[in-house]
Amino acid sequence: MADKFVINGGHALTGSVDVTGAKNAAVAILPAAILARGVCVIENLPRIADVLIIRDILMELGARTEYDDNGTLTVDTTHLDSSHATSELCKRLRASYYFIGALLARFGEAETALPGGCAIGERPIDQHIKGWEAMGAKVSVEYGKIRAEAPNGLKGCDIYMDLVSVGATINIMLAAVHAQGVTTIVNAAKEPHVVDVANFLLCMGAKIKGAGTDIIRITGVPRLHGCNYAVIPDQIETGTLMIAAAATRGDVTLHNVIPRHLDALTAKLLEMGVIVEEGADYLRVRTEGRPHAVRIKTMPYPGFPTDLQQPATVLLSTAEGASMITESIFEQRFKHIHEIRRMGADITIEDKVAVVHGVPRLTGTSVRATDLRAGAALIVAGLMADGTTEIHNIKYIDRGYDHIEDKLNSLGADISRVKEEADEREFY
């Protein structure tokens, strides 16, 4: 039976909570462990479904793993006995495509099932393929599988990305660690999790310069070794909790964070009239009145993160005035708006732009998550709404937020996880 969240809204969030490790770093670092040919101990992993799926794919490939429930995974990839990750598991998340880059570097060939992931747009992988082919791999996509082979190894070269892609930047970096010579990725993504993957590879003995800038240089080396590594705090979980604090007119301090990863959101919250105080590893968010309306345009890092657009839309749904939100990264990332309209939001959508006319309050009702961050947005809506909100399809939320209801209840929310009734399934 599926679960749903039941939220009794209207409680201001107050107090402090620790943020956990970054999902989008973890789901790339675990496949990268294939390159170690030894033992890696990876700490501060978020306890989420996506990490468990990646762990299971590693085991299918022959890795030995031990996972304790405080988020540490020990993985031994000495005796990997396959370069084919073709099980159904690959279709359950986008990040399964990182196995191609890692397996291609280690074995000179790789095959995975086509990736899944949130339905927020077409999400092609042409830039990944462009990078691998530029290094000399032969890539085919047929019968629902991606196959890449480079029997004579890969050769470093200059790769000019047609657009900024987090996944393609990471996947090309993974493939390049053993390439002959230097691979230069121009117009590389600069997200914190791209830098985290590069730092993990450096810990294993890779030669990488420029991660975090738009030009990354990877010099191929013959072998990498195991290492111990701790994943960075989750930029998007941090941002989601900051938005929830502001939306409930609360006063929340988030610990174990890297404040500068949130600079774009902090700047927008300050524009809204929200008070944000930052320390070395914490952020405090508090507010009294309704936020002011603002304009937001999602951009690659260090711009406003597309993964925070959906929760931010909900925050602005009760702002004073009309806000304008442009989603410039994905084509279909406004599905949450249909759901929060049922809660009283007044939002019009014109292609990539949503105009959010602030209303005094939202009211609780039954809604359903359509993707991971839409689910997070509905949690924010339920927390700030008058009355009770039921969120269905929370399997999406469990993919990317580590025990989110426990964190929120420790801040004074009233959110519970309940088994859905049999007949509810047919509607959601």
Residues with catalytic annotation? 118
- Least Å from the CB of residue 26 to ligand EPZ: 9
Q: Does 231 bind ligand EPZ (CB under 6 A)?
A: no
Contact residue for ligand EPZ among 126, 158, 281, 406 (CB under 6 A):
126
- For residue 127, state whether it binds ligand EPZ (rule: CB under 6 A): yes
Stretch that binds ligand EPZ, among 32-40, 117-125, 202-210, 238-246 (CB under 6 A): 117-125
Report the site for ligand EPZ in 283-322 (rule: CB under 6 A): 306-307
Q: Which one of 44, 96, 165, 253 is in contact with ligand EPZ (CB under 6 A)?
A: 165
Binding segment toward ligand EPZ, per CB under 6 A, in 55-63, 66-74, 116-124, 275-283: 116-124
Contact pattern from residue 56 through residue 95 relative to ligand EPZ, giving x for each residue in contact according to CB under 6 A and a dash for the rest: --------------------------------------xx
Q: Does 261 bind ligand EPZ (CB under 6 A)?
A: no
Q: Does 168 bind ligand EPZ (CB under 6 A)?
A: yes
Phi then psi for 258, rounded to 5 degrees? -115, 95
Q: Which range binds ligand EPZ by CB under 6 A, 22-30, 142-150, 211-219, 247-255?
A: 22-30
Among 173, 245, 329, 408, binds ligand EPZ (CB under 6 A): 329
Q: Give me the least distance between CB of 93 and ligand EPZ, in Å please.
A: 7
Closest CB 209 distance from ligand EPZ, rounded Å: 21
Residues 361-390 that bind ligand EPZ (CB under 6 A): 372-373
Is 400 a residue that touches ligand EPZ (CB under 6 A)? yes
Q: Which residue is nearest to ligand EPZ (CB)?
A: 167
State the minimum distance, in angstroms, from the CB of residue 50 to ligand EPZ: 8
Residues near ligand EPZ (CB under 6 A): 23-24, 27, 94-95, 118, 121-128, 163, 165-168, 189, 191, 306-307, 329-330, 372-373, 400
